[in-house]
Amino acid sequence: MAVIVAPSPNPNAMKFTVGIPVGGPTTHVAGTSPEETFARDLLAIPGVTSIFLTADFVTISKTSDIPWESIIPEATSILEGEFGS
């Protein structure tokens, strides 16, 4: 399944649905080193402040000064690499 990106009520957060269990529920914040490689990679994207994992999706939060256009392609690629078929 391709990653489906959808807005959330918070303009600085987006929901990335991958279609299979991602673990959690858990939250990781920038500056930490989660066990999961994909989580570390997501947090390394400039502007990402936290990720929330639960069910079949990851919610990514960012700073207000970084546009989603600079985050979504890299985040989608990371998630497809981890959870894609």
Query: Could you read off the pLDDT tens digit of each residue along the chain, which spans 85 residues?
Result: 689 999 999 999 999 999 999 988 999 999 999 999 999 999 999 999 999 999 999 999 999 999 999 999 999 999 999 998 5
User: Helix, strand, or coil here: 40?
Assistant: helix
**Burial level of 25, CB count in 10 A (0-12/13-18/19+)?**
exposed
Assigned token pair, 7: 């807005």
For residue 84, what pLDDT is reported? 84
Backbone angles phi, psi at 22, to 5 degrees: -105, -5
The CATH superfamily holding the domain 4-83 is Scaffold protein Nfu/NifU, N-terminal domain (3.30.1370.70)
For residue 34, what pLDDT is reported? 95
For residue 85, what pLDDT is reported? 57
pTM of the model: 0.95
